[in-house]
Structure 1
Amino acid sequence: MATTALLRLESRGYFRSSLVLVALFAIVGVFLFAAFPGFADEAELIEEAFPPFLAGLLGFEALHTIEGFVSGYVYPLLWIVFAGIYVAYLSAGTVVRDVRERRMDLTLSYPISRESVVLQKVAALWVPLVVLNVGLIAVVFAGVTVLGESIDPVALAMVHLLSIPYLLVCAGIGIVLSVTLDRIETAQVSALGLVFVLWLVEGLSEMDPDYEWLGVVAPSRYYDPSAILVHGEYAYADAGILLIAFLALLAVAIVIFTRRDL
């Protein structure tokens, strides 16, 4: 087996499902952008009507602007939740599926280390990362253009660039569960649920200063589309924290898998 054969094989398997999710983004985006004119006219009333928990969870700011609307509605739903869950779900099914279906024995019969197996399976996630980023950028630009609005392309690019560490952490959560658990469905559902619960924890922690510390463990705390699009603030330090968290999760996954009895 060539050094990168597993990477190429895994990469090909993600392309179609990633396109399906982009299509879902486009469908949901149609409904979201169609609602913008109404939101822009009643932005103040809408912001007051939403509970503080939900407003904080979605990051509502300046809903009367296209930047505030996109960062408060489009990205929390389509990107932080859907894309994060999707990447975690994919990652959680990688190793455990091969082990469960006895393909891992064949893979390891070639001159390839267990460390390389984990690294190549995670590296193969470049396909959904690229496809989803390009797809959502296209959806957002199309929606903004149809509405007759404009959005800063540099800020939009930074929203996606700084989201990569967040998505990598979601992948890291999935790969740890994939090398730990014995059932495919259990690993994937656990990864899906954990990413979603962490997002909820971050929103709940903002309601009460006494519990704000709980949000420290939530990767969504370190990625704020509103800060980028509305305020032009690029939190490189937060992105660095997420990258360190991803590398730590990856290291844990490698240690567990290399010591695991298959």
Structure 2
Amino acid sequence: MFELTRYDGRRRVRGSIYLSIGLSLLAAMVIWVYPSFRAEVDLDQLLSAYPEPILQVMGIQTMASLGGFLSFELYTFGWVILLGLYLAYSTAGTIADDVDRGRMDVLLAMPISRTRLVGERFAAVAVPVVVANLLPPIVVYVGAELIDEQLAAADVIAVHLFSIPYLFACAGIGLLASVVFDRAGIAQRVALGVTFALFLTESLLTGTDAEVVGAIAPMRYYDPNAILLEGSYDLAGAAILVAMTVALLVAAQLWFARADIA
């Protein structure tokens, strides 16, 4: 039981550790530059110089506090955009790569259903999602203490915990692309394009008459600003992301169960 999950999970461990270290280094760099940035730059004047569409797309509310600075420089850029795109891209090769390379026939010869195969391969995505969120919160909290800035430990933990359902939803987009397209390269490009298009859709339509369209974007339901600046935890949004992930997984399983594997 879960043989494929264990096999795929072990293969992802090393890369996930490197990913966690890289994100931790990014967090350390952002915290390290904050004191000099705050001392030398009029942050309110800097924000007023940004065009409103840029502020809206990047979700910038304030950079006058470490929480606001981290929300923009680290979490919006590093987690919402980069990590979300990475999970969508890497998961898009989960099924398509085996089909593309002619290995899927061997897997389907095993006494395992297609739906279970998709489910177990997707479950292995938990390794990078979880490992990527283990070291960075420690670096963020300790780094804030070292520069004499106050960040609530609960908020630092929460901003990472609430990113987990968001990242799984992004991975779900990649999984669906992986079963719809039998060429890994195409599936990965589609997953990247769709995920980034959803980010832009949510960012640009917020506050407009077409705002409801952005409800399909996972980015609507994960807001680092609300957590770090207001201490507000969107439990309903997390539940929606879980439901979105389940829907994408079921859709991928149903599609693959009926797919003709050439």
Whether TM-score is above 0.5 comes out as yes
> How far did residue 142 of structure 1 move?
4.1
**Could you tell me how far apart the structure 2 residues matched to 1:160 and 1:121 are?**
23
State the one-letter code of the partner of 2:241. Answer: L
Q: Is the 8 A contact 2:88 2:174 kept in 1?
A: yes
TM-fit CA distance, 1:38: 4.2
Q: Following TM superposition, by how much is the alpha carbon of 1:30 offset from its aligned partner in structure 2, in angstroms?
A: 4.1
8 Å CA contact retained: 2:89, 2:192:
yes
* Aligned: 1:28 with 2:32: no
Q: Take 1:35 and 1:148, find their aligned partners in 2: how far apart are those partners?
A: 13
Q: Which moved more, 1:228-237 or 1:51-60?
A: 51-60
- Could you tell me how far apart the structure 2 residues matched to 1:44 and 1:76 are? 19
Kept in 2, the 8 Å contact 1:61–1:230? The answer is: no
1:10 counterpart residue number: 8
The alignment partner of 2:182 has SS state of: coil
1:210-225 matches, within 5 Å, as 210-225=209-224
Structure 2 counterpart SS, 1:134: coil
Structure 1 spans left out of the alignment, 5+ residues: none
Q: Is the 8 A contact 2:201 2:214 kept in 1?
A: yes
Kindly indicate whether the alpha-carbon contact (under 8 Å) linking 2:91 and 2:175 is maintained by their aligned counterparts in 1: yes
Distance 1:77 1:85 in 2: 11
For the 8 Å contact 2:141–2:156, the answer to whether it is kept is: no
Aligned partner of 2:35 among 8, 15, 37 = 37
Deviates more, 1:225-234 or 1:191-200: 191-200
Determine if contact 1:39/1:64 at 8 Å carries over to the other structure.
no
Report the Cα offset of residue 140 of structure 1: 1.8
- Contact 1:219–1:242 (8 Å) recurs in 2: yes
Q: Output aligned runs, 1:50-69, within 5 Å.
A: 50-69=50-69
**2:192 is matched by which residue type in structure 1?**
L
Residue 237 of structure 1 corresponds to which residue in structure 2?
236
Extract unaligned runs of 5+ from structure 2. none
Deviation at 1:226, TM superposition (A): 0.7
Shift of 1:191: 1.0
State the shift of 1:116 in Å: 0.8
CA contact (8 A) 1:29 1:139 kept: yes
Question: Which residue pairs with 1:226 in the alignment?
Answer: 225
The Cα shift of 1:136 comes to 2.2
Q: For 2:242 and 2:2, locate their aligned partners in 1 and report how far apart those are by CA, in whole Å.
A: 23
Instruction: Say whether 1:254 aligns with 2:253.
Output: yes
User: Of the candidates 17, 20, 26, which is equivalent to residue 19 of structure 1?
Assistant: 17
Query: 1 CA distance for matches of 2:46 and 2:12?
Result: 39
Residue identity matched to 2:194: L
Q: Report SS of the residue matched to 2:210.
A: helix
- In 2: Cα distance, 1:142 partner to 1:19 partner: 19
Deviation at 1:29, TM superposition (A): 3.0
Query: 1:134 maps to what in 2?
Result: 134
Separation in structure 2 between the aligned mates of residue 39 and residue 222 of structure 1, nearest angstrom: 30
Task: Output aligned runs, 1:193-204, within 5 Å.
Answer: 193-204=193-204
Q: Which residue in the other structure is 1:163 paired with?
A: 163
Distance in 2, Cα, partners of 1:13 & 1:202: 34
Distance 1:139 1:85, change over 3 A: farther
Q: Give the deviation of 1:16 after TM superposition.
A: 1.9
Question: Residue type of the partner of 1:12?
Answer: R
State percent identity of aligned pairs. Answer: 38
Residue identity in the other structure for 1:23: I
RMSD of the alignment, in Å?
1.7
Match of 1:173 in 2: 173
Q: Separation in 2 of the partners of 1:57 and 1:14? A: 32
**C-alpha distance after superposition, 1:192-238 (max 9, x if no partner):** 222122112222113x5233233222210111011011111111111
Give the corresponding residue for 1:116.
116
| 8 Å Cα contact 1:97/1:184 also seen in 2 | yes
Structure 1 stretches (4+) deviating beyond 4 angstroms?
Answer: none
